[in-house]
Amino acid sequence: MDQPRPVPLENDRVRLEPLGPQHVDGLREVVADGEIWRIPYAPHVPPPEEVAARVADQCASDEAGRTASWAVVARGSGRVIGHTTFLNISLRDRRLELGSTYMAGSTHGTGLNAATKLALLTHAFEELGCLGVEFRVHHLNIASRRAVERLGAQQDGILRAHRIMPDGTLRHTVVYSILADEWSGVKASLEHRLRR
């Protein structure tokens, strides 16, 4: 598997741009849209005043090769609508996690998240040579769990009492994955869904 790098990606609905300081203002608007940073089981979503520091940290992690991060831009409007990352990269095992994703509240239910995942999964399986792409979701984040399931990912299991959240509660992490031999079917289903 090739080392994942944040290279430009796009399809007819979204453009994924390598994350940089130029996206800070747009991402501040994203997290304020629907106040998604207030969701208690989504600590990866920074409040507006912390966006610049988080972007700087993420860019340093990308530079070190630990992650690959993108700002998501809507093709029609050119507006920044989200953020997403490849993380937990294992070159030896040809696997990575697709996570730390957040999208503006006004985009929920529009298909833009599915278009984003289509671009990233196509890159992971068809260009990087991944054998598996993993998703990890807080057990109480039902909307994200359903979104991952609609992608065609299969639940692998639950890591119980996996993390202590900032508020002191325990997170059980639901782990999903898509395997390389499942990708063609998942891709066809996603493309069909986006055509509708």
Q: What is the CA 79 to chain-centroid distance, rounded?
A: 18
pTM for the model: 0.94
6: nearest Cα among 102, 86, 64:
86
pLDDT tier at 138 (50, 70, 90 boundaries)? Answer: very high
In whole angstroms, what is the distance from residue 95 CA to residue 71 CA?
22
Q: Which CATH number characterizes residue 103's domain?
A: 3.40.630.30
**Residue for token digits 């696997």?**
95
Give the burial string for 122-153 (b: 16+ CB within 10 Å, else e).
bbbbeebebbbbbbbbbbebeebbebbeebbb
Domain membership of residue 14 (yes or no) is: yes
Q: Would you say residue 58 lies in a domain?
A: yes
- What is the structure's pLDDT at 125? 98
User: 22 lies in a domain?
Assistant: yes
Inside any domain, residue 168: yes
Residue 73 lies in a domain: yes
Domain that holds residue 91: 9-195
| Residue 2: inside a domain | no
Mean residue pLDDT of the chain comes to 95
* Across 47-70, average pLDDT: 97
Inside any domain, residue 158: yes
pLDDT for 166 beyond 90: no
Mean pLDDT for the stretch of residues 59-64: 97
- In angstroms, the Cα distances linking 75 to 92, 141, 183 are 35, 28, 25
Least confident of 35-39, 110-114, 122-126: 35-39
Of the listed ranges 55-59, 98-102, 154-158, 192-196, the least confidently predicted one is 192-196
What total of structural domains would you count in the chain? 1
Evaluate whether residue 3 is within a structural domain.
Answer: no
